[in-house]
Amino acid sequence: MKFALVNPNWDFSGSTYFGCRDPHYPLELLFAFDKIIEDGHEPMLVDAQTDNLTTEETKRRVDAFAPDFLVIPTAPSYLFWRCPPPEVRIPKEWFAQLGGKAVKVAIGPHTSATPAAAIRKMGCDVGLRGEPDQTIPELASKGWADIVGCCWRDESGMHVAPGLGVTDMKSLKALTFENYNVEAHKHRHHVFWGEGHGAELEFARGCPWSCTFCNKTLFRNKFRERDVDAVLAEVDRVIARGVDYIYFIDEIFGVGKNVRRLLEGIAERNVNIGFQTRIDLWDEETLDLLGRARCISMECGIESITEEGRDELNKNCKMNTDRISELLIYAKQRIHWVQANLILTEKDNKEEIRRWQDHLKAHGVWVSEPVPMFPFPGSPLYVQLFGNPDDDAWERAHRYYTKTFSDKGYSDIQEQKPATLEDLECAC
Ligand code: SF4
């Protein structure tokens, strides 16, 4: 059977979305593409964001392929599944405009948290919960009731599955990128200077911690590493296509047993890297290794400058703030861009935050202004505030967020006057 995998040309106007707006590799679709071939079926991939395609241009390509299944994600790349746009305006619009006879399949944070509402809102047939790399191809070969996390609607009503797809990361072989316009994707995620040619790869998925605000309970939750040699093969393949910077989309780069071997391998290659991590995973010796592996961008979630604040967010950080500062400064002496991210908490004193920011900035570490937390329906915070998510979860979270922070202030990378979710989703 034939699967059309489409990354829409995203538009975030009016949204509270605070992730990066540039195109990123749709790794969830690239992994599914290979799994579809492994299962004996035929995929096609259209990255309408990287290729800057309209719905009309995309529809022509999809119609020519005549798929049995049309798959569209509800967030732009796995990298942003944890902080997606709350609205499903774009996938809804793309499902409607691509139309056709194919079974419409949505994947992403919305189908994971509120599958019935997401299916209804987007007018699609199937919503997969959890990670879909392996469950997408199963739609062609298994009864849908036997697929983990498969929800669908038919003439007898809505069928909602309790399970969540969890991918066997060791089974994800090295991507070839023969199906991907590596040359057109130049964005270097989280690099704010100079020029170059970026790519995004994934070494490990999930995270062993469970911070209150983190939207990862429904996907990318359990920590799993890929095979180091498969990832190094991908590194070599993108380097051969002109890439000189790789951003690892891992939730928390640096946790696993094999990351050291990966870094030693990268150190032998002519490529820079960047990622998100926790500073308490590193020490002077491993930060030296990062320097040797040409890490140029390291983003660290510190969240609060006090131990009480970090405890309230369930950060489970074993380091005190002085040691955190010391390591951030040590890292900055080896890595061009070191960033410490803060979250707006009641426990932190504004004057003390300013002093800490000034101290680190004097050593070249960039410290964010404390950003407001969105209670995403897949986060422990949502459950603490409202209980388990129901069909109105995204609307409830959005109303809470805009009511709480419209006076206190949004992040400077967000729309300052976001529209309501209802208005955004009705606009198409
Ligand atoms: S350490 Fe990072 S990825 Fe892990 S739970 Fe906390 S915020 Fe999420």
Encode pLDDT of 22-38 as tens digits. Answer: 999 999 999 999 999 99
Determine the straight-line distance between the first and last CA of the chain, rounded to whole angstroms: 31
> How many residues are recorded in the chain?
428
State pTM to two decimals: 0.96
Answer yes or no: is the C-beta of 314 below 6 A from any ligand 1 atom.
no
Q: What span, in angstroms and rounded, lies between the C-alpha atoms of 164 and 131?
A: 7
**With contact defined as beta carbons under 8 Å apart, do 375 and 17 qualify?**
no
pLDDT of residue 146: 98
Query: What is the separation of C-alpha 413 from the centre of its chain, rounded to a whole number of angstroms?
Result: 17
pLDDT band at residue 428 using 50, 70 and 90 as cut-offs? low
Share of the chain above pLDDT 90, in %: 89
For residue 428, give both structure tokens. Answer: 């198409």
pLDDT of residue 6: 98
Answer yes or no: is the C-beta of 341 below 6 A from any ligand 1 atom.
no
Answer yes or no: is the C-beta of 29 below 6 A from any ligand 1 atom.
no
pLDDT of residue 345: 74
Q: How far is the CA of 218 from the centre of ligand 1 (A)?
A: 13
Q: Whose CA is nearest to atom 6 of ligand 1?
A: 211
Residue 37 to residues 3, 40, 167: CA-CA distances in angstroms? 10, 5, 16
Answer yes or no: is the C-beta of 202 below 6 A from any ligand 1 atom.
no
DSSP of 293-310, one letter per residue?
TTEEEEEEEEE-SSHHHH
Q: Which atom of ligand 1 is nearest to the CA of 214?
A: 8
Q: Which atom of ligand 1 is nearest to the CA of 252?
A: 3
Q: How far is the CA of 37 from the centre of ligand 1 (A)?
A: 33
Three-class secondary structure of residue 135 per DSSP? helix
Residue 288 has a CB neighbour count (10 Å cut-off) of 15
Q: What span, in angstroms and rounded, lies between the C-alpha atoms of 130 and 395?
A: 21
Q: How far is the CA of 415 from the centre of ligand 1 (A)?
A: 25
Residue 258 to residues 96, 225, 228, 231, 369: CA-CA distances in angstroms? 44, 8, 7, 11, 34
Q: Whose CA is nearest to atom 8 of ligand 1?
A: 214
Q: How far is the CA of 95 from the centre of ligand 1 (A)?
A: 32
Answer yes or no: is the C-beta of 207 below 6 A from any ligand 1 atom.
yes
DSSP 8-state assignment for residue 157:
E
pLDDT of residue 427: 59
For residue 51, give both structure tokens. Answer: 């290729």
Encode pLDDT of 314-336 as tens digits. Answer: 999 999 999 999 999 999 999 99
Q: What span, in angstroms and rounded, lies between the C-alpha atoms of 211 and 379?
A: 8
Q: Which atom of ligand 1 is nearest to the CA of 216?
A: 8
Q: Which atom of ligand 1 is nearest to the CA of 208?
A: 4
Residue 197 has a CB neighbour count (10 Å cut-off) of 18
Q: How far is the CA of 400 from the centre of ligand 1 (A)?
A: 22
Answer yes or no: is the C-beta of 216 below 6 A from any ligand 1 atom.
yes
Q: At what angle do helices 228-240 and 259-267 cross, to 10 degrees?
A: 30
CA-based nearest residue to 158, from 131, 130, 124: 124
Encode pLDDT of 85-128 as tens digits. Answer: 999 999 999 999 998 999 999 999 999 999 999 999 999 999 99
